[in-house]
């Protein structure tokens, strides 16, 4: 089986968030299970030139973009045993940022069309093109409308993964002929709510649609989560599947991580206490091994649940001996709040505005409890990273948080959860975690259970393999 993984960003070349992490990990996990998987992405000028040192030129072609044709250079690179195709067009991809431009629709229409156009030129005909988010959602549309009857394309299937349904690629109807090159006879595939919706077109035309957790697959059928696409998803729910993302368990490994002061494991967990002491020292908190330390690593934005945190943090600080460490950046409202609260409780709250990857690992390794009260969370990686480092998550039951964290109230879970998006409910979950922390023997068992959780990409890869095999029957 051959899979061509089409994506707008992928590690190690370029990433702005979780999509790049997924694209850098899932194809490798598939290859380890003998699935041929190659990646295609744009050749952005922002990619570190050292990563392209061994890149080789294959050929160049011209790609239709509506009524005109544009140059496309095809390059090949290798990393981690995976072949990457990088598609070059300096007009579209020599930019300071990879997203956020006035012509993003045209840029990614070009890329989507190019993914199909390169197939006869790379010596690799895929059985499946795996598309990701709105930037590649046109690939199933183009394949269905313009390529399905061509001999070299007729057996190719398409899968579209929705990483975050909030971002859909919504534009004016004038794009249909001027930019996208979609015949008027097929305009209905993309039209939605008096606009052109690229994600909607991908959902309509892909053979299968996946998203990044089973719970999120159910949630996006609800108007509260769907950002307006619930009616389309409900109509096409028969081809919708949720597969929980994984994490890189080799890259994030407390036994070998050079970014944390002390190494440890489920078998020898003693080093976690040293990391807590080091974290307390780093943030000028009292070196108190008995004080419960809560960690937050997040973008400081409303949908991450910080309005709940803002509502109850004073009460929590005044009624417990808890310490808090926060790493993140985001909305001015929440940055200002954490600045004020850190000044109000000196020696109790540590704050670093920004994102430092090594410091994030030190927080995972050093905190006792990890707080993630998201309003919505398609998958979430931080709660899995917290488990990997033996920090016990407190999360709201939404999306991937619900699928990866089970409440320990029955003595079998790996964290503490709350259901409704309510500050009082979140506070009760935190207090239950603090009560659990006081039981040192029980807490040690909970840490071990967290460290033993398997959130590797292997689980996700096996489920994708089954989906691909079912699709090829």
pTM of the model: 0.94
Cα 221 to Cα 235: distance, rounded to the nearest angstrom: 10
Neighbours of 97 (CB within 10 A): 9
Residue 362 burial (C-beta neighbours within 10 Å; 0-12, 13-18, 19+): buried
- Residue 332's Cβ-count burial label (10 Å; 0-12, 13-18, 19+) is exposed
135-166 confidence digits (pLDDT tens) = 999 999 999 999 999 988 989 999 999 999 99
- Was domain 271-454 assigned CATH 3.40.50.1100? no
Retrieve residue 260's tokens.
């944390």
Cα 16 from chain centre: 10
Structure tokens at 157: 């299937």
Q: Measured in Å, how far apart are the chain's first and last C-alpha atoms?
A: 12
Q: Where in the chain is the domain with CATH 3.40.50.2000?
A: 2-246+458-472, 271-454
Bond preceding residue 92 cis, omega within 30 of 0: no
pLDDT string in tens for the chain (473-residue length): 999 999 999 999 999 888 999 999 999 999 988 889 999 999 999 999 999 999 999 999 999 999 999 999 999 999 988 999 999 999 999 999 999 999 999 999 999 999 999 999 999 999 999 999 999 999 999 999 999 999 889 899 999 999 999 999 999 999 998 899 999 999 999 999 999 999 999 999 999 999 999 999 999 999 999 999 999 999 999 999 999 999 999 999 999 999 999 999 999 999 999 999 999 999 999 999 999 999 999 999 999 999 999 999 999 999 999 999 999 999 999 999 999 999 999 999 999 999 999 999 999 999 999 999 999 999 999 999 999 999 999 999 999 999 999 999 888 899 999 999 999 999 999 999 999 999 999 999 999 999 999 999 999 999 999 999 999 98
Question: Mind listing the pLDDT tens digit for each residue in 327-341?
Answer: 999 999 999 999 999
Hey, which CATH number is domain 2-246+458-472, 1.10.10.60, 2.40.160.20, 1.20.1250.20, 3.40.50.2000? 3.40.50.2000
């Amino acid at each position: 089986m051959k899979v061509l993984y089409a994506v707008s960003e992928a590690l190690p070349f370029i990433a702005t968030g979780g999509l790049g992490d997924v694209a850098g990990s899932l194809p490798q996990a598939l290859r380890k299970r003998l699935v041929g998987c190659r990646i295609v992405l744009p050749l952005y000028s922002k990619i570190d030139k050292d990563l392209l040192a061994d890149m080789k030129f294959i050929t160049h072609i011209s790609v239709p973009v509506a009524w005109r044709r544009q140059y496309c250079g095809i390059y090949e690179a290798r990393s981690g045993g995976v072949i990457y195709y990088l598609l070059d067009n300096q007009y579209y991809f020599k930019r300071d940022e990879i997203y956020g431009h006035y012509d993003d629709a045209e840029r990614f229409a070009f890329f989507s069309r190019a993914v199909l156009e390169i197939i006869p030129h790379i010596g690799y005909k895929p059985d499946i093109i795996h598309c990701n988010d709105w930037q590649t959602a046109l690939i199933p549309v183009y394949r269905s409308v313009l390529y399905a009857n061509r001999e070299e394309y007729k057996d190719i299937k398409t899968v579209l993964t929705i990483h975050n349904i909030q971002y859909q690629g919504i534009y004016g109807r004038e794009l249909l002929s001027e930019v996208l090159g979609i015949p008027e006879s097929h305009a209905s595939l993309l039209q939605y709510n008096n606009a052109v919706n690229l994600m909607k077109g991908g959902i309509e035309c892909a053979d299968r649609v996946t998203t990044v957790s089973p719970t999120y697959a159910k949630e996006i059928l609800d108007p509260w989560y769907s950002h307006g696409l619930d009616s389309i998803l409900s109509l096409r729910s028969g081809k919708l599947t949720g597969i929980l993302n994984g994490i890189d368990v080799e890259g994030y490994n407390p036994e070998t991580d050079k970014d944390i002061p002390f190494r440890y494991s489920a078998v020898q967990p003693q080093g976690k206490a040293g990391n807590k002491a080091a974290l307390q020292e780093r943030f000028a908190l009292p070196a108190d091994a008995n004080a419960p330390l809560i960690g937050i690593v997040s973008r400081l934005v409303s949908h991450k649940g910080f309005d709940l945190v803002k509502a109850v943090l004073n009460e929590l600080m005044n009624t417990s001996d808890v310490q808090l460490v926060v790493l993140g950046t985001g909305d001015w409202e929440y940055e200002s709040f954490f600045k004020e609260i850190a000044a109000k409780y000196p020696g109790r709250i540590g704050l670093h505005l920004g994102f430092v990857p090594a410091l994030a690992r030190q927080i995972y390794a050093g905190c006792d409890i990890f707080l993630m009260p998201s309003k919505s969370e398609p998958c979430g990686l931080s709660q899995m990273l917290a488990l990997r480092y033996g920090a016990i998550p407190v999360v709201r039951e939404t999306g991937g948080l619900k699928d990866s964290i089970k409440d320990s109230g029955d003595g079998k879970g790996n964290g503490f959860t709350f259901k409704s998006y309510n500050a009082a409910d979140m506070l009760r979950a935190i207090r239950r975690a603090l009560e659990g922390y006081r039981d040192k023997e029980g807490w040690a068992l909970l840490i071990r259970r967290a460290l033993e959780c398997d959130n590797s990409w292997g689980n996700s890869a096996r489920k994708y393999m089954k989906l691909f095999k079912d699709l090829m029957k």
